[in-house]
Structure 1
Amino acid sequence: MNVRTAIFKTLLLTIGILSFGHTGKAAEPKDSIYTFLPKMPQFPGGEATLSRYISKHAKLPDEEDCQGYFPISFIICKDGKLTAVGIQDKASETWTAAEAAMVKVIREMPDWIPGEIKGKKVACRFYLPLHICARLE
């Protein structure tokens, strides 16, 4: 019986913040969601631990289109909890089974270390572009 194994190539190179940041010049509403911070949010243990977490928990469906690019977007709240997890610019009802599986992995992650501005924890939108290559063994 073939076992589907996910291999995550260049994950550490593709983890990134893909949008322009807040300039900090204007007064912000109390619950702003930032896209760039002086101290960005972090997965506990860093990027290598994040890569291992995704590799361990990803259970991709048995289908041919599991390989590819998954532009995951989510908000890391002030308390480190994740919310609004999804595929960037794509409605959930149009996700493939593989996309839904990757979103599930992200939703079930442990809390992150939140981002900060001047020592104050703030919410931040985070973009996690995953390049996945699955192979049959």
Structure 2
Amino acid sequence: MNKRLLFLLILATFVIYFASPAKAQRHHTSANIKPSAQIVMDVYEYDFVDVQPQFPGGNSEMIRFINNERRYPAEAYHNGVEGRVLCSFIVNTDGSISHIAVLRGVEESLNREAVRIISEMPHWHAGKLDNENVPVYCILPIAFRK
């Protein structure tokens, strides 16, 4: 009985390990963005490109923008809900932002506010690879503290 259980445990471990997507993947292909249409585009990781995309004015301006735009949802504020919403998005070749998603949320109203803040951002300076603008996958935390 114990040998069979051990065998199943080892087998399950191998299946999970080899079925997982590679963590070191540098070049992404996203598909099924819209349920009604399949769109395929090449998206690069932030660290893989020659020039990373940048918020106009740099990180200090981005922090200023986030602090000015952030509207703490009233119910979350009164209930003492705090935390950091981790969002992902793509900076496109023209600097526009698309495909905003919450990777790790806190509470629904805070998650929506983080997505709203990112969607209101001005066009970024696009990322470059081999001196050409390329879409780049970015991750940004938005903190909510009372």
TM-score under structure 1 normalisation?
0.69
Moved over 3 A (4+): none
Offset from partner CA, 1:23-64 (integer Å, 9 cap, x none) = 7xxxxxx94100131211000000000000000001120123
1:89 deviation in Å? 6.0
Larger Rg: 2
TM-score under structure 2 normalisation?
0.65
CA distance, structure 2, for counterparts of residue 50 and residue 66 of structure 1: 24
RMSD across aligned C-alpha pairs, in angstroms? 2.3
Offset from partner CA, 1:74-100 (integer Å, 9 cap, x none) = 01100000001120167xxx9611110
Given candidates 118, 122, 128, the residue that maps to 1:110 is 122
DSSP-derived class of the 1:88 partner: strand
Closer/same/farther in 2, CA of residues 65 and 125 from structure 1, 3 Å limit: farther
Given candidates 31, 34, 42, the residue that maps to 1:32 is 42
DSSP-derived class of the 2:135 partner: strand
For structure 2, list consecutive stretches of 5 or more residues without a partner in the other structure: 1-22, 28-39
Q: How does 1:1-137 map to 2 (within 5 A)?
A: 20=24, 22=26, 31-35=41-45, 36-62=48-74, 63=76, 64=79, 66-88=81-103, 96-133=108-145, 135=146
Structure number having the greater helix percentage: 2
- The percent identity for this pair of structures is 25
Count of residue pairs brought into register by the alignment: 107
Closer/same/farther in 2, CA of residues 89 and 54 from structure 1, 3 Å limit: closer
DSSP-derived class of the 2:64 partner: helix
Between 1 and 2, higher relative CO (CA 8 Å, sep ≥ 6) is seen in 1
Closer/same/farther in 2, CA of residues 68 and 52 from structure 1, 3 Å limit: same
Q: Which amino acid is 2:103 matched to?
A: Q
The match for 1:9 is: none
Maintained 8 Å contact 1:37/1:116: yes
